[in-house]
Structure 1
Amino acid sequence: MDKKEIKRAKKEQKALERAEREQKFRRAKTWELFMYPTFSIGHNGFMFLMTLVSYYAAGIVGLGTVVASYIISGSRIFDGITDPLIALIIDKTKGKYGKIRILFASAYFTMSLATVLLFFTNHLVADGFKLFYFILLYIVFIIGYTLSGIAGNIGNNLLTNDPQQRPVFGGLNMIYSMLFYSGVTLFLTVYLTGKYSFSDVQLFHEMTIFTLIITAIGYGLSSIAIRSKDKIENFGEGKNTERVKFRDLWPMLKGNRPLQLFVVTMATDKLSLQVSGNVVANVMLFGIVIGNYAMLGITQSLATIPNILVLFFGIRYAMKFGSKKGYVLSTWGCLISYGLLFLLLWLGDPTQIRMDNMGFMTLAFITLFTISGAVRFVSSSFVQPMLADVVDYNTYKSNRYAPGLVSAIYTFIDKAVSSLQQTVIGLLLAFIGFRTAFPDVDTPYTEKIFWMTMFLNFGILIISWTLSLIVMKYYELNKERMVEIQEILEERSKGNTDDPDLLAK
């Protein structure tokens, strides 16, 4: 057999395998798979904007660092409480005209209204009402953000149930998020901070307008991509699916060990990533320890292409071996690369890191920063595919299709834990003397700032990832297990439930 015949035979084999998978699973079209994850640009766009709210609340509105931190943390807890309540309502609705597109539109307009009023008017309110007004608008924002998160999680589950495709949309989600964060960080660190300081309200005005434009594009594209799946016949897994009630919330968590392990792993990861990714932590690392805040945007831009290449490798690996193995491998990569980055900054001279001094420190920092960021993105890319697996496991185990509620259980605990982000930062910085204002690029360097910066940017991450690797040893939903579960769910949807082997044990 010559090379052409071998190539043709392989092509025919792939076509047969694809046709078999299309019969076996609910698969997404290629353009849907690539376009739907753009909702992450909308979701992350508003989140990035709100990472600046502590500077606005403390420096312009005048609420103080600790008060602002407590309000933001308390609001995040409220955010978690709203998740199961809203999710229960969504799961109970039949969705005759779809759910996801309506939720995306509602989320966008709610968050747009809240952020415009917050950043454009809060500082103009009378002093006696500033705190109440801030809290009210933050709550409105949270409701919109909850709608966005639930819509995204339901859409992830509906888009495809093929274990081979799910890592793809998870990886694309992270690629789009990475491109967005690279662009928006450059916009903030090079353009906006080049025109204004964090004490200028115009910085927040321009950032808000930019956010409204870019998030509208993200939500719009994802709504187009999910249109064919956003139908009533897809909101369930067959005739035996039971209605979900609020009292099912605790039993659902108690009886779902993969969900418990997933929540512990991802919630602790989320807290550590939010602390290290907070604007204040970035200012301390790049603006004070390194002494060049613009390096943040530059290094992130330089890392974009390598990050995408590593993400594609991670996607291919997960498609072959499953999301669990992909997550474990990338988490090991995170531990090693972030440990080396810490050693470089501790043992070397961080002030030598700059683009006009391409010596060892600069080259080593850019290399390790790129590698660590890439494997971190790969690790985070498995959150959505693994959550979709957990939703299907719950359907298999309980015969109840409740993607909104299962997602809400995760997000409730996730937000309750990650709500500590601003409190952790506020209290730790207050401990080293920053009680009325956060450190900024003009803050003088001290040993206390260096070690606090190291803990906020590296230490908390290393602790979290070590815990995650321990927990993943007991997580059962590997690729083989998910194929088995999808086959059982498919048989149930056809009404083949008489065979006891098709029922969850």
Structure 2
Amino acid sequence: MARPKLEGDFSREKYHVAKLWQIAFFALNNTATNIFLFGMGFVTYYAAGIAGLAVMTVSTILALMRVFDSITDPIIGFIIDRTETKLGKFRPIMVIGNLILLTAFLLMFNVLHLFPENMQMMVFIVLQFIYIIGYTMQTTVTRAAQTVLTNHPRQRPLFSIFDAVFTLSLFTFGQVYASQYLMGRYGDFTYGYFVELSLTFAAVSALFTVLAVIAIWGKDRKEFYGIEEVNVRTRFRDYWPVLKRNRALQMLVLSAATDKFAAMFMNQQVVQVMFFGILMGNFALSGQFGLIVLVPSLIFIFFGVRYAQNLGLRRALVLFSYIGAISFSILFILMVLFDPEEFALGNWGVLSIAFLILYSAGRAISSLTPSIVIPMIADVSDYETYSSGRYIPGMISALFSFVDKLVSSLTPFVIGALVALIGFGDEFPTVTDEMTTGIFWVAMITALGFPIAGWVISIIAMRFYPLTKEKMAEVQEELNKTKNFILDARDKKRAEAAADPGRGIEEGSEDDDSRR
């Protein structure tokens, strides 16, 4: 008896695919959380400048909260793997997560300073706790739901191109909005500045989440949940054995965590202020430069995804990590040898052109490599199903995020410690500060040095990553054979039950007894 094929049901085929708009719109789920990540780069200025908390206090709290953030991942992953609702596995988590994020983000930027001074630190910590829970819920879905979106090797890299374009656009136009529009309107980091910024970011994030929910609506169904007949209930004690056994997960975690650690430095507003506002003498350049390099950056991204489609995600990640490390290394040397202000785009010459090319390459790579990693997590999840027979995308995504966030949690603490060492213990450097030797080296290390180190570690980790393009073809072939075997056995049993209804009822009763 042939099994009826539902619209969009590719269960008997080797690959299941998504429409292009579904991939594009679902990538907005990551953008919806990245908006808040970008916005949190300003919370240090609000907490220290408006609310009056000390620089090291804010930096330490943010670092500790990132550690707590990593702890929430196994919990959310556990919840995702055990979730079965009429609205699917992933959509409820996305919506609830975004609502929590909106609430915490708006309260953090609008009411913290209204509390008595002796309560502000505690309120800030509580809001951070709430924010992190929502953030973890929504970001974990971005990674875990890749398995249901598509498993086609030429389609999975397409998520990277949309995600990278959206992320690059967010940080480009977001920086223009923050450094030119808002700074031009308010003149400094005033209360009005933060109110407008927080309301705008919250509204855009909500819109993107709605579009992402629509995109995954037709894919968030059980027939796309791996090998549905062998799905298992996870336990917390299963996390360590999975991480210990899965070499692909280990190497991807190491590569992605160091990339994230490096990229977070580039996107911190304190680093932007020191690098562009003080070293190069023009903070507005941080936004203007993003617009100038947008087109060359998009070319990098399109080329990168094309390369990944043809030769695999692993080789693409290695190639572009090399490009990023080399470009920033050359730029670091040049800026040490020459006056940084000569690199400003208003002083057109060899150095400013070199800066334009090298920095745009590095910035493009910093957007591309994290986007390449996301569909690679789906590969690792499929590899786990291939190796152990268990479909546990929530657990795989949670393990990835746990280590990723644990490493990247050091970013605000390191920045706070470095600026405190050069005399900024009570407030962060602003565009009105004069350049000193300390500011120069802190800006150079955070804006260029840490990204170089991250890319180098990523290259080393990928040497031990086993999931080549050929290996993934083998994985999908084997998963498809297993799924078809299960479906054929089920169809045979249904056909026998239809031919002999009494036998079918009897067997069904036995099956029900065994399940109980």
The yes-or-no answer on 1:85 pairing with 2:88 is no
- Name the CA distance, whole Å, in 2 between partners of 1:448 and 1:489: 56
Deviation at 1:355, TM superposition (A): 4.3
Deviation at 1:497, TM superposition (A): 11
Partners of 2:243 and 2:249 within 8 A in 1:
yes
- Which residue of 2 is the match for residue 204 of structure 1? 194
- Which residue of 2 is the match for residue 374 of structure 1? 364
What is the correspondence of 1:99-498 to structure 2 with a 5 Å cutoff?
99-495=89-485
Cα distance per residue 1:273-300 (max 9 Å; x no partner)? 1123211111110000001000110110
- Name the CA distance, whole Å, in 1 between partners of 2:12 and 2:207: 30
Between the two proteins, what is the percent identity of the paired residues? 37
- Name the CA distance, whole Å, in 2 between partners of 1:211 and 1:457: 24
Cα distance per residue 1:431-470 (max 9 Å; x no partner)? 1111111111111101121111111111112222222211
Stretch of structure 1 that moved more, 114-123 or 317-326: 114-123
Q: CA RMSD in A?
A: 1.8
- Name the CA distance, whole Å, in 1 between partners of 2:190 and 2:437: 29
- Name the CA distance, whole Å, in 1 between partners of 2:226 and 2:188: 48
CA 1:279–1:444: 2 relative to 1, 3 Å: same
- Name the CA distance, whole Å, in 1 between partners of 2:472 and 2:487: 19
Partners of 1:349 and 1:361 within 8 A in 2:
no
Partners of 2:59 and 2:412 within 8 A in 1:
yes
Give, as a single letter, the amino acid of the residue that structure 2 aligns with 1:376: S
Give, as a single letter, the amino acid of the residue that structure 2 aligns with 1:210: T
- Name the CA distance, whole Å, in 2 between partners of 1:268 and 1:207: 29
Deviation at 1:375, TM superposition (A): 2.8
Cα distance per residue 1:168-205 (max 9 Å; x no partner)? 11121111111111111100010111122554111110
- Name the CA distance, whole Å, in 1 between partners of 2:346 and 2:56: 38
Stretch of structure 1 that moved more, 213-222 or 191-200: 191-200
Deviation at 1:349, TM superposition (A): 2.1
- Name the CA distance, whole Å, in 1 between partners of 2:404 and 2:478: 30
- Name the CA distance, whole Å, in 1 between partners of 2:40 and 2:400: 22
Deviation at 1:259, TM superposition (A): 0.6
Give, as a single letter, the amino acid of the residue that structure 1 aligns with 2:13: Q
- Name the CA distance, whole Å, in 2 between partners of 1:197 and 1:404: 45
TM-score normalised per structure 1: 0.92
Cα distance per residue 1:36-89 (max 9 Å; x no partner)? 212222111111111111111112111111110111111111111111112102
Deviation at 1:388, TM superposition (A): 1.0
Partners of 2:147 and 2:226 within 8 A in 1:
no
Unaligned 5+ segments in structure 2 are: 1-9, 489-516
CA 1:394–1:21: 2 relative to 1, 3 Å: closer
Partners of 1:76 and 1:419 within 8 A in 2:
yes
- Which residue of 2 is the match for residue 501 of structure 1? none
Deviation at 1:399, TM superposition (A): 1.2
- Name the CA distance, whole Å, in 1 between partners of 2:235 and 2:322: 40
Give, as a single letter, the amino acid of the residue that structure 1 aligns with 2:249: L
Partners of 2:38 and 2:267 within 8 A in 1:
no
Which one of the candidate residues 22, 25, 48 is aligned to 2:15? 25
Partners of 2:106 and 2:202 within 8 A in 1:
no
Tell me the secondary structure at the aligned position of residue 145 of structure 2: helix
- Name the CA distance, whole Å, in 2 between partners of 1:197 and 1:254: 52
- Name the CA distance, whole Å, in 2 between partners of 1:262 and 1:81: 19
Cα distance per residue 1:387-420 (max 9 Å; x no partner)? 1111111111121111111110111111111111
Partners of 2:11 and 2:223 within 8 A in 1:
no
Give, as a single letter, the amino acid of the residue that structure 2 aligns with 1:461: P
- Name the CA distance, whole Å, in 2 between partners of 1:74 and 1:98: 33
Aligned length, in residue pairs: 479
- Name the CA distance, whole Å, in 1 between partners of 2:13 and 2:293: 40
Partners of 1:238 and 1:495 within 8 A in 2:
no
Partners of 1:56 and 1:198 within 8 A in 2:
no
Tell me the secondary structure at the aligned position of residue 180 of structure 2: helix
- Name the CA distance, whole Å, in 2 between partners of 1:191 and 1:227: 37
Which one of the candidate residues 48, 54, 59 is aligned to 1:64? 54
Deviation at 1:496, TM superposition (A): 5.8
Cα distance per residue 1:4-38 (max 9 Å; x no partner)? xxxxxxxxxxxxxxxx9993201111221222212
Deviation at 1:357, TM superposition (A): 2.9
Stretch of structure 1 that moved more, 149-158 or 292-301: 149-158
Give, as a single letter, the amino acid of the residue that structure 1 aligns with 2:436: T
Deviation at 1:367, TM superposition (A): 2.0
Cα distance per residue 1:217-267 (max 9 Å; x no partner)? 211211111111012332331322322211111111111111111111111
Partners of 2:301 and 2:368 within 8 A in 1:
yes
Tell me the secondary structure at the aligned position of residue 95 of structure 1: coil
Partners of 1:26 and 1:162 within 8 A in 2:
yes
Deviation at 1:156, TM superposition (A): 1.7
Stretch of structure 1 that moved more, 153-162 or 407-416: 153-162
- Name the CA distance, whole Å, in 2 between partners of 1:165 and 1:158: 12
- Name the CA distance, whole Å, in 2 between partners of 1:335 and 1:153: 26
- Name the CA distance, whole Å, in 2 between partners of 1:208 and 1:495: 52
TM-score normalised per structure 2: 0.90
CA 1:303–1:128: 2 relative to 1, 3 Å: same
Tell me the secondary structure at the aligned position of residue 433 of structure 1: coil
CA 1:338–1:22: 2 relative to 1, 3 Å: farther
- Name the CA distance, whole Å, in 2 between partners of 1:332 and 1:356: 30
- Name the CA distance, whole Å, in 2 between partners of 1:86 and 1:240: 21
Give, as a single letter, the amino acid of the residue that structure 1 aligns with 2:278: I
- Name the CA distance, whole Å, in 2 between partners of 1:389 and 1:434: 45
Unaligned 5+ segments in structure 1 are: 1-19, 499-505
- Name the CA distance, whole Å, in 2 between partners of 1:449 and 1:439: 8
Partners of 2:30 and 2:139 within 8 A in 1:
no
Deviation at 1:154, TM superposition (A): 2.0
